[in-house]
């Protein structure tokens, strides 16, 4: 990178007309980001965390201000080229809201959107153990998905949509009977959706990882979301169990969500305010690096979304992963293109 481009890059941080200023990255982080493969996108689950002052934001702001005005600063971080829209999991949002997010980010930025939880959770299960308000039964409802989620999303985000993720919670037996019946219903649901957007599916039932599941994905051009979660096998085991049918169809998402020693609420309390790594997880980091290495080696667009509850601070988890991946790429003499 030339000296002139370096100066231009750093002058763009902390713009006076923005409510939230971006932290100025170190030169080694900028250079690391430039070396990573273009098809790799790193990001976090949401962006409204005051503890990221000095990591993503120039100074500490309130959670409310970051939620409203922090996305432009987030999008200036050289490593963060995507973000997970978690808000859409709890309720659908309008095309205008999606458009505001799109306008707040650079041209090369892409969003990973979570589908409304009602689509992936039977209403009886929502009523028992979810913060999502139960309403009419929308489980596997393709018409509702098109009307309430896909339509507004496509209208508002346009080409800034990366992937639409269907996140299934651990499903109880009465809801799906068995793994094959789940795969059959999933296949029918995906087949009823419009082609065009990239769909990804995340499950929390390890018994669902069967050939019929990958067949359901591949037949509709969807991909499996490889997730780091105590309920699931490691991402390397998922990779081996499912084979290339799980990722061959298009963009792939990997979600690094929860430390294996923690429960969700306990991790939130232990790691708050998410400004440092408290429980480094080298085993899962290495597994992620190995899978990402395979995917980018095959030329696939790859989204890695980290949660604060993976190690304590999502931006620092991604920085560590990026450094480890960079070392692996250089060691195997794969020339990344950017």
Q: Is the dihedral of CA 89, 92, 95, 97 positive or negative?
A: negative
22 part of a folded domain: no
Residue 5 has pLDDT above 90, yes or no: no
Mean pLDDT of the chain, nearest integer: 91
11 part of a folded domain: no
What is the structure's pLDDT at 16? 46
Q: Are 79 and 319 in contact (CB under 8 A)?
A: yes
Helices and strands (H, E) in the chain, number of each type: 17, 9
| DSSP label at residue 311 | T
* 226 beta partners: 254
pLDDT tens per residue, range 203-254: 999 999 999 999 999 999 999 999 999 999 999 999 999 999 999 999 999 9
179 part of a folded domain: yes
pLDDT tens per residue, range 175-184: 677 899 999 9
12 part of a folded domain: no
CATH number at residue 58: 3.20.20.410
pLDDT tens per residue, range 274-302: 999 999 999 999 999 999 999 999 999 99
121 part of a folded domain: yes
Residue 334 has pLDDT above 60, yes or no: no
CA distance 256 to 183: 24
Domain containing residue 148: 30-331
* 262 beta partners: none
CA distance 187 to 183: 6
1 part of a folded domain: no
**Total structural domains within the chain:** 1
CA distance 334 to 338: 13
Q: Is the dihedral of CA 227, 220, 299, 45 positive or negative?
A: negative
pLDDT tens per residue, range 69-109: 999 999 999 999 999 999 999 999 999 999 999 999 999 99
Q: Which pLDDT band holds residue 125 (cuts at 50, 70, 90)?
A: confident
């Amino acid at each position: 990178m030339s000296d002139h481009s370096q100066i231009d890059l750093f002058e763009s941080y902390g713009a006076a007309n923005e409510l939230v200023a971006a932290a100025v990255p170190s030169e080694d982080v900028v250079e690391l980001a430039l070396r990573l493969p273009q098809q790799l996108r790193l990001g976090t689950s949401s962006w409204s965390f005051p503890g990221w002052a000095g990591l993503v934001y120039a100074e500490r702001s309130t959670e409310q201000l970051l939620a409203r005005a922090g996305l432009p600063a987030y999008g200036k971080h050289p490593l963060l080229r995507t973000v997970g829209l978690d808000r859409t999991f709890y309720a659908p949002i309008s095309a205008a809201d999606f458009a505001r997010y799109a306008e707040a980010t650079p041209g090369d930025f892409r969003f990973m959107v979570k589908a409304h939880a009602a689509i992936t959770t039977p209403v009886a299960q929502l009523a028992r153990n979810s913060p999502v308000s139960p309403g009419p039964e929308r489980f596997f409802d393709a018409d509702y998905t098109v009307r309430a989620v896909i339509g507004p999303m496509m209208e508002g985000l346009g080409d800034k949509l990366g992937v639409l993720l269907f996140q299934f919670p651990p499903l109880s037996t009465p809801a799906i009977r068995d793994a094959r019946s789940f795969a059959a219903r999933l296949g029918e649901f995906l087949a009823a959706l419009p082609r065009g957007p990239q769909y990804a599916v995340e499950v929390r039932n390890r018994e669902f990882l069967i050939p019929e599941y990958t067949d359901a994905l591949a037949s509709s051009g969807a991909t499996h979301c490889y997730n780091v979660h105590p309920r699931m096998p490691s991402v390397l085991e998922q990779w081996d169990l499912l084979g290339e049918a799980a990722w061959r169809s298009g963009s792939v998402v990997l979600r690094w969500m929860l430390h294996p020693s923690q429960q969700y609420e306990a991790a939130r309390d232990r790691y708050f305010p998410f400004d440092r790594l408290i429980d480094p997880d080298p085993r899962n980091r290495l597994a992620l690096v190995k899978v990402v290495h395979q995917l980018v080696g095959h030329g696939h667009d790859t989204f890695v979304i980290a949660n604060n509850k993976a190690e304590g601070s999502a931006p620092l988890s991604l920085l560590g992963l990026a450094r480890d991946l960079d070392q692996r790429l250089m060691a195997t003499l794969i020339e990344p293109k950017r």
